[in-house]
C-alpha cells in the first residue's frame, strides 16, 4: 500500500492505494508535507481529482478498492448512484437499500466512507434539507455541494 499527499482547494488530501485500486482518499486538517515523487499508480486519480476541482469532471473512472464491511460497501455502492449536482436524504438512501429502519446504520456507513469526493457521501443530507454531519467538516460539504451545483444568476431582462 502506497500513500501520498496532494494539495486541493479544500486542503491537503491523503491518498492510499496499490495495483488493485485506490482504497482511501481523505482530507487532513493538520499540516503535512506534500508528496513530491508520485508513484505511477496515482497519476490517474490525481488527474481526475484535478479535473473535478476545475469543473471538468462529474464522475470518476479510476479503480477503487475501499476497505469495509459488506454492509458498508453496499451503502458506498449506492452513494455512487447519486447524480452529480443532486442530493439525497439519509431516509431516501435507506429506502433505496431496502430497509427504512436501517437509517442509523446507513448514516454510520456513510460517515465511514473512505473515498472522499469519489464516493459522494457529501451529497447525502438531512430529510429537512440540512447539511448534517460530514467527516471533512460541514464547510467542506457546503463547498462541494455548491461546486457541483452553483447557483446561476437569473437574467432580469
Q: pLDDT of 77-113, one tens digit each?
A: 999 999 999 999 999 999 999 999 999 999 999 999 9
Quote the pTM value. 0.90
Query: Residue 152's pLDDT is what?
Result: 55
- What distance in Å separates the CA atoms of residue 70 and residue 12, rounded to the nearest whole number? 29
Query: Residue 72's pLDDT is what?
Result: 97
Mean pLDDT of the chain: 93
Q: Could you say which of 82, 121, 125, 144 is catalytic?
A: 121
> From residue 21, how far is each of 39, 62, 91, 146 by CA, in Å?
13, 7, 30, 28
Query: Residue 156's pLDDT is what?
Result: 54
CATH of region 70-148, choose from 2.40.50.140, 3.40.50.970, 1.10.10.10, 3.30.70.120: 1.10.10.10
- What distance in Å separates the CA atoms of residue 68 and residue 124, rounded to the nearest whole number? 19
User: HSE on the CB side for 156, CA within 13 Å?
Assistant: 0
Query: Residue 136's pLDDT is what?
Result: 85
| Per-domain residue ranges of the chain | 2-53, 70-148
Active site residue 26: no
- Angle among Cα 27, 31, 111 to the nearest 5 degrees reads 25
- What distance in Å separates the CA atoms of residue 35 and residue 95, rounded to the nearest whole number? 41
Query: Residue 132's pLDDT is what?
Result: 86
Residue numbers of the chain with a pLDDT score lower than 70: 151-157
Amino acid at each position: 500500500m502506497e500513500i501520498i499527499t496532494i494539495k486541493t482547494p479544500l486542503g491537503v488530501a491523503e491518498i492510499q492505494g496499490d495495483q488493485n485500486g485506490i482504497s482511501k482518499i481523505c482530507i487532513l486538517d493538520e499540516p503535512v508535507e506534500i508528496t513530491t515523487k508520485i508513484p505511477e499508480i496515482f497519476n490517474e486519480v490525481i488527474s481526475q481529482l484535478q479535473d473535478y476541482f476545475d469543473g471538468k469532471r462529474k464522475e470518476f473512472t479510476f479503480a477503487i478498492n475501499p476497505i469495509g464491511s459488506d454492509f458498508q460497501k453496499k451503502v458506498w455502492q449506492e452513494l455512487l448512484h447519486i447524480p452529480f449536482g443532486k442530493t439525497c436524504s439519509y431516509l431516501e438512501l435507506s429506502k433505496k437499500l431496502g430497509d427504512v429502519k436501517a437509517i442509523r446504520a446507513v448514516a454510520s456507513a456513510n460517515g465511514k466512507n473512505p473515498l472522499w469526493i469519489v464516493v459522494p457521501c457529501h451529497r447525502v443530507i438531512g430529510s429537512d434539507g440540512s447539511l448534517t454531519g460530514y467527516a471533512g467538516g460541514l464547510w467542506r460539504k457546503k463547498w462541494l455541494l455548491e461546486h457541483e451545483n452553483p447557483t446561476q444568476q437569473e437574467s432580469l431582462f
